Amino acid sequence: MHSRLLERAAKYAPEYGGGSLTALPIIETQAGDVAAYIPTNVISITDGQIYLETDLFNAGIRPALNVGLSVSRVGSAAQTKAMKQVAGRLRLELAQYRELAAFAQFGSSELDAATRAQLDRGQRITEILKQLQYVPMSVEKQVMILYAAINGYIDDVPLDKV
Q: Which domains does the chain have, with CATH numbers?
A: 75-161 (1.20.150.20)
Of the spans 51-55, 86-90, 111-115, 138-142, which averages the highest pLDDT?
138-142
Q: What is the pLDDT of residues 15-73, one digit of tens each?
A: 999 888 777 888 888 888 888 988 888 888 888 889 999 998 998 888 898 888 888 87
Distance between CA atoms of 122 and 137, rounded to whole angstroms? Answer: 21
pLDDT in tens, 121-161: 999 999 999 888 899 999 999 999 999 999 999 999 999 99
Asked whether the predicted pLDDT for residue 7 surpasses 80, the reply is no
Burial class (CB in 10 A: 0-12, 13-18, 19+), 2: middle
Looking at the annotation, which residues are catalytic? 73
The pTM of the full predicted model, rounded to 2 decimals, is 0.71
Question: So what's the pLDDT on residue 5?
Answer: 66
- Measured CA to CA, the distance from residue 70 to residue 54 in angstroms comes to 14
